[in-house]
Amino acid sequence: MSARGGVVDVMLRRELLPWTLLGLTLGMVEGATAAVLVKTRFGDAADPWAVNLAVAFVSGAPALSNVLSFAWANLAHGRARVQIMVAMMALFAITVGVLGLAPSATGGLLFTVLSVLVARAIWSGLLTIRASVWLANYPRPVLARMTGRIVVASSLTIATSAALTAATVAGNAIDPRWLYAGASLAGLGAAWLYRAMRVRREYQLIRDEQNAAEGGSAFSLQNLLAILRADPQYREYMFWMGIYGGGSLMLTSQLVVILTEQLRVAPATQIVMLAIVPLLSLPLFVPVWARFFDSRHIVVYRARQGWVLASAMAVMAIAVLSGWSALLWLGAAGLGIAYAGANLGWSLGHQDFAAPGMAQQYMGVHVTLTGLRGMIAPPLGIAVYQLLEGLQGGLGRWSVMLPLVATAAGALGFSSMRRRHEAPMQRRAIVP
């Protein structure tokens, strides 16, 4: 084993357990699980419109919270990463623990939504800063495979957290407050362990950031606009990510509402279908997607992964419209396969566009725009559902066609980018 490979392995070992433990914490505020909990706990405590809108915001919170990414990038710019991340992990864990104190009344609904949004905002900061750590510690040819191992381990503990939540919803066997307390303790343990983490050549990373961003200025909305103006390829990539990602973000909240109000699927079953099945798909399919990612540009990767997601959403739409429960499970499995690839693409795709020292800036652009579509897409999906349902009872389930069309349009955009990306290589291949 080379010295470089040995260092990479050491870095991976130091990261693996903290992120695995944090999966237990994250599971309590993960989109589908949190959305089902809100719909189940507050369904009779407030106006249906208000509850469904809360479902939209909670399911979209993982994306919505990213609108503050520029602030997190600002915080980490030119500074040592590990100390900041340890503090943020601890704060994230405490915020999740506080969720267990929410009362089961209308005021509790608002408290829950705000707490989930705060927790997810902190998590978005961890992801923003983590991207630069991964890029520094893992060489590009093995980047997806190394980080994929962390994603897989974390997904298993998120699934465990979701399974415990499903058991609680199904039989009231565990007081939810204990679940939130245990998840909080796991997060605090992760923060303690992460203190041993190091960033390779961090001094060089900090210097590159300071030199690259106009004499050391940190990320801002002005930087975001400057990057998009200066890099037309990344601008187009972000445009299609907005269309594609908006469709994906609409779907979860719509499914929770439709499965509850129209198909009468039990809350525990919803958690298994919308959270646990996709999460358990990650260990199986992240390694497959990682090998594909490591050998191709992100636009080629997204062109393939986008159509997989669109196909899975088509199956789910047919299942919802027909009420065929077996097809719901097949659609959930397909979504899990597609989400496994989306996870890697979202975390690492920006680095195929970023110059040295600009990875965190480009990630900041990506996650900030993710936050904007997280603010718009889930409420829009629920508004379309409510509008159709108001026209005629049962018509609301047709709202699932909107995210399907948006995701397919995004996949078409990525495919167009792929053809233009591969055209020069094809021309060189036929030159005698």
pLDDT for position 318: 96
CB 16 within 8 A of CB 44: no
Structure confidence at residue 203 (pLDDT): 66
In the chain (432 residues long), the average pLDDT of successive 10-residue segments reads: 60 86 91 86 79 90 78 72 90 93 77 91 85 75 76 86 81 74 94 86 66 56 86 94 93 93 91 89 85 86 95 96 92 93 83 76 83 91 94 93 96 94 59 46
Burial category of 219 from C-beta neighbours within 10 Å (exposed 0-12, middle 13-18, buried 19 and up):
buried
Q: According to the model, what pLDDT value does residue 431 have?
A: 44
Cβ contact 214:361 at 8 Å: no
Contacts 24+ apart (CB under 8 A), 99-104: 99/28, 99/29, 99/180, 100/176, 100/177, 100/178, 100/179, 100/180, 100/181, 101/177, 104/41, 104/42, 104/45
CB-neighbour burial class of residue 252 (10 A; exposed 0-12, middle 13-18, buried 19+): buried
Report yes or no: 351 and 140 within 8 Å, Cβ to Cβ: yes
**The overall pTM is greater than 0.85:** no
Task: Taking each helix axis as running N to C, give the angle between helix 359-391 and helix 202-212, from 0 to 180 degrees, rounded to the nearest 10.
Answer: 70
For residues 235 and 63, what is the distance between their CA atoms, to the nearest angstrom?
19
Task: Give the N- to C-terminal CA distance of the chain in Å, as an integer.
Answer: 41
pLDDT at position 421, please?
A: 85
Token pair belonging to 93: 């864990």
- Contact call for residues 341 and 305 (beta carbons, < 8 A): yes
Phi, psi at 128, each rounded to 5°: -60, -45
Hey, what are 297's tokens? 């540009």
CA pseudo-torsion sign 41, 46, 51, 54: negative
The Cα–Cα gap between 255 and 316 comes to 9
The angle formed by the CA atoms of residues 6, 9 and 14, to the nearest 5 degrees, is 130
- Residue by residue, DSSP assigns 230-271 as H-HHHHHHHHHHHHHHHHHHHHHHHHHHHHHHTS---HHHHH
| Nearest to 309, CA basis, from 416, 406, 420, 419 | 406
| 397 in Cβ contact with 321 (< 8 Å) | yes
Q: How far apart are CA 331 and CA 315, in angstroms?
A: 5
